[in-house]
Amino acid sequence: MKYKFQNLLFKVSHLQGAFLFLCFALSSLSASAQTVHQLTKAGDTKFSEGDFYASALYYKDALKKDEENAALNFKYAEALRMFNDYENASKAYREVTRLDKSNEFPLAYFWLGEMLRSTCDCKTNEAVRELRKFRAKYRKKDYYSAKCQQELEACAWVLDHQTPNDSVKIEHLGKEVNTEQSEFNAIHVFPDKLQFSALRNISADDKKEDYKVRIYNEPPTPQKIFMPNGANPEMHIGNGAYSPDSKDFFFTECESNGKTTSRCDIYLTKYENFKWQPAQKLSSAINNPSATNTQPSVGYDKEGNEVLFFASDRSGGQGGMDIWVSKKNADGTYGEAVNTGDVINTPGNEITPFYDINYHRLFFSSDWHYGFGAYDIFKTEGEYTNWMVPQNLMQPINTPQNDLYYSLALDNSKAYITSNRKGSYFIEAETCCNDIYAYVTNKKVQKSDSITTAKVDTAVAPVTPSTTSIEKTKTFIDEKIKNIKQKLPVRLYFHNDEPDARTMSDTTSLDYKESYEAYVALVSEYEREFAKGLKGEAKQKAEEQIESFFADKVDEGFHDLVAFASQLTDILQTGNKVEVTIKGYCSPLNFNQYNLRLGDRRVASLRNYFFHYRDGMLLPFIASGQLVLKNESFGEETAPSKISDSREDVRNSVYSPAAALERRVEIVDVLVR
């Protein structure tokens, strides 16, 4: 979520914490003797080198001499964000929003919302306010505008999913594995040990610093660092993955570029004749020379063919880093990699794939799918380009911070994750650095004697639900029904004569999300037109009325819809039949027959929203009749008589909040059987 990154071994900000100590080796020239310009230039240099902590210290010293400088505050905030100091970054971005009178740094509102989201679920509503401000100030149609909309939807989802699963107990693995730097990518190896990657000082001389990513063995082991045969010691080496028979070992080599990494490629070493053979770089089918190729994981397709999953930012993807897959050929080579498709991949970043061979599930992390903040871990089932809608693993597995590198023990009894959640070790900034965590899954499977990875060979006998289990299910359903009814009515608003203006059609191909996004893009037009001809305090009041309408009605309505759809899905998945009643309304600007058709189109747009929700998740319920969408439409007879219907008076008939309130659909009732 933090930013659209390019060529990385793993997210750049994962490396930040490992370099925090470098700030203590700054120039011997004291900060007090340097000018603002000198300090800022030094900060810029460190930033360009990827030493974000040192950069932040320079900017901080410069701000002591020029604290009202908006540009300098923005640089300071950016440096803090880049090494995951969410708390201080949010304070710095807020200072930018206070100082930036000319809207020179609209992204400050975006990143402030992001940092608040990444700090704590308790700041979700505050994050929503800042993201709405960003959307009102930012006019471009690009990644940030799309991401802002996605984040607003995710916030609505978070507010509906804040109850953690108390049965899952997350364990920090402690100092045998974790340090104040970053540890990641835990691999369970036979019989009961871990290998993992970490960025540490590998110099034999305590007075020298040579920080590299390496693969480590959990102590006590005779060989602390596992260096694959033939790996280049000048490179960062990490992201290990074994084949199911443990005879193939994949890893990533990344070029070093200052304090960060640049291009990465995947290598393979084979265990033959009782030793590991020299590693070979995989072909261009996997290692695209113009992109980063990293985080390998071995899986299978439905026919039992071995495939290799990995993350890459090559062209042809959905945006940012994507999950790709390649089928292993009979001769041991790999076919051309294909993108796993837009059900998994998004305009954001999808990384750290892991395939569970026992239950045939793919796990990965995403900064775009609905989550609690930063990266969340998701699971899905399928193969190649055909996948089920990813499911969030929920709290406490996921947090507002980064949650990555999901993996499982050989017998599925334990899961491992990488996270910079609060409670991780750190030098500065409690969310700066990644540690490895684990939890018991309660899904242990039998091991096969032939290979070290577990196989499920026999069916499990069905279990009759206990009385307690039935009671828990009933309580869950009752709570969901109570929550969804509390949201009623869900009111959703439209621009004049939308969707599909100037037609007598009673249906539309648009869904409500599209109409909503087009509507909120008109907020400036509404402010201008409703305040036209007014001056001074009257003009300001008119503009505030419009701003309040869009924030409290239009935005709030859409967020209620996202939460409603989520609750609706939960109820349907328990097997209940649900009937939803929708009503459409219009302002009195046109004749009644036209308005009735327009109301029908508005209802149709909401029906389309449910059809398209999360890539068609609700369609099977609709097709089976388990979800019934009833609709009614009302024309102008329901609008108050004081609402203007004059075409010449567009200020009051189109742009006034009073008229806008009548252009809506409502979800008015939910019947659960």
Tens digit of each residue's pLDDT (9 = 90 or more) over 598-645: 888 999 999 999 999 987 889 999 999 999 999 875 544 454 545 555
Mean per-residue pLDDT, 304-317? 96
Q: For the beta carbon of residue 85, count every other beta carbon within 10 angstroms.
A: 28
- Whole-number mean pLDDT of the chain? 87
Strand partners, 484: none
3-state helix vs strand vs coil in the chain, percent to 5 = 35, 25, 40
Q: What is the pLDDT of residues 242-284, one digit of tens each?
A: 999 899 999 999 987 655 657 899 999 999 989 999 999 999 9
Residue 12: which pLDDT band, with cuts at 50, 70 and 90?
A: very low
Residue 27: which pLDDT band, with cuts at 50, 70 and 90?
A: very low
In angstroms, the CA 231 to CA 251 distance is: 9
Q: Do 490 and 557 touch, CB atoms closer than 8 A?
A: yes
Q: What is the pLDDT of residues 114-166, one digit of tens each?
A: 999 999 999 999 999 999 899 888 888 899 999 998 999 999 899 888 888 88
CA angle 535/536/542 to nearest 5° reads 75
Predicted local confidence at residue 240, as pLDDT: 96
DSSP 188-240: EETTTEEEEEEEEE--SSTTS--EEEEEEEPSS-S-SB---TT--TTSEEEEE
Q: For the beta carbon of residue 428, count every other beta carbon within 10 angstroms.
A: 18
Tell me: pLDDT of 31 over 60: no
Distance of CA 273 to the CA centre of its chain: 44
DSSP 583-651: EE---TTS-HHHHHHHHHHHHHHHHHHHHHTTTTTTHHHHHHTSEEEEEEE--GGGS-TTS---SS-HH
**Residue appearing with tokens 């070979």:** 280
Residue 593: which pLDDT band, with cuts at 50, 70 and 90?
A: confident
Q: For the beta carbon of residue 573, count every other beta carbon within 10 angstroms.
A: 11
Alpha carbons within 13 angstroms on the beta-carbon side of residue 80 total: 26
Q: Considering only residues 26 and 204, tell me which one the structure prediction assigns the higher pLDDT.
A: 204
Strands 193-201 and 183-189: antiparallel
Residue 25: which pLDDT band, with cuts at 50, 70 and 90?
A: very low
Q: What is the pLDDT of residues 92-118, one digit of tens each?
A: 999 999 999 999 999 999 999 999 999
Q: For the beta carbon of residue 641, count every other beta carbon within 10 angstroms.
A: 7
Q: Do 491 and 658 touch, CB atoms closer than 8 A?
A: no
Closest alpha carbon to 318 in 343, 352, 290, 337: 343
CA angle 662/663/669 to nearest 5° reads 80
Q: Considering only residues 80 and 650, tell me which one the structure prediction assigns the higher pLDDT.
A: 80
Output the CA–CA distances (angstroms, integers) from residue 655 to 503, 519, 640, 663, 667, in the order listed: 21, 12, 16, 11, 24
Predicted local confidence at residue 259, as pLDDT: 57
First to last CA, the chain: 40
Predicted local confidence at residue 1, as pLDDT: 35
Q: What is the pLDDT of residues 428-450, one digit of tens each?
A: 889 999 999 999 998 888 754 33
Q: Is the peptide bond before 191 cis (omega within 30 degrees of 0)?
A: yes
State the burial class of residue 234 (Cβ atoms within 10 Å of its Cβ: 0-12, 13-18, 19+). Answer: exposed
In angstroms, the CA 536 to CA 362 distance is: 59
Residue 591: which pLDDT band, with cuts at 50, 70 and 90?
A: low
Mean per-residue pLDDT, 384-402? 95
Strands 578-584 and 627-633: parallel
SS3 304: coil
At a CB cut-off of 8 Å and minimum separation 6, what does 600 contact? Answer: 506, 507, 584, 631, 633
Q: What is the CA radius of gyration of the chain?
A: 28
Strands 171-172 and 435-440: antiparallel
Q: What is the pLDDT of residues 201-247, one digit of tens each?
A: 888 887 788 889 999 999 888 789 999 999 999 999 999 999 998 99
Q: For the beta carbon of residue 461, count every other beta carbon within 10 angstroms.
A: 5
Residue 481: which pLDDT band, with cuts at 50, 70 and 90?
A: confident
Please give the helix or strand (H or E) that residue 137 lies within, else none.
helix 124-137
Tell me: pLDDT of 189 over 60: yes
Q: Do 639 and 585 touch, CB atoms closer than 8 A?
A: yes
Distance of CA 61 to the CA centre of its chain: 33
Strand partners, 629: 580
CA dihedral sign of residues 495, 138, 510, 480: negative
Percent of the chain residues topping a pLDDT of 70 = 87
Predicted local confidence at residue 336, as pLDDT: 97
Mean per-residue pLDDT, 330-336? 94
Q: What is the pLDDT of residues 448-472, one digit of tens each?
A: 433 433 332 223 334 445 555 556 5
Q: Do 301 and 308 touch, CB atoms closer than 8 A?
A: no
Output the CA–CA distances (angstroms, integers) from residue 446 to 411, 443, 619, in the order listed: 7, 10, 37
In angstroms, the CA 154 to CA 1 distance is: 12
Mean per-residue pLDDT, 279-294? 96
Q: What is the pLDDT of residues 70-88, one digit of tens each?
A: 999 999 999 999 989 999 9
Predicted local confidence at residue 387, as pLDDT: 95
269-283, 366-380, 434-448, 651-665: least confident range: 434-448
Residue 15: which pLDDT band, with cuts at 50, 70 and 90?
A: very low
Predicted local confidence at residue 163, as pLDDT: 83
Predicted local confidence at residue 671, as pLDDT: 93
**Residue appearing with tokens 């900034």:** 429
Q: Do 376 and 369 touch, CB atoms closer than 8 A?
A: yes
In angstroms, the CA 97 to CA 462 distance is: 59
Residue 192: which pLDDT band, with cuts at 50, 70 and 90?
A: confident
Q: Do 258 and 50 touch, CB atoms closer than 8 A?
A: yes
pTM to 2 decimals?
Answer: 0.83
Q: Which amino acid is at 108?
A: A
Q: Do 17 and 41 touch, CB atoms closer than 8 A?
A: no
DSSP 26-70: --SS-GGGS-HHHHHHHHHHHHHHT-HHHHHHHHHHHHHH-TT-H
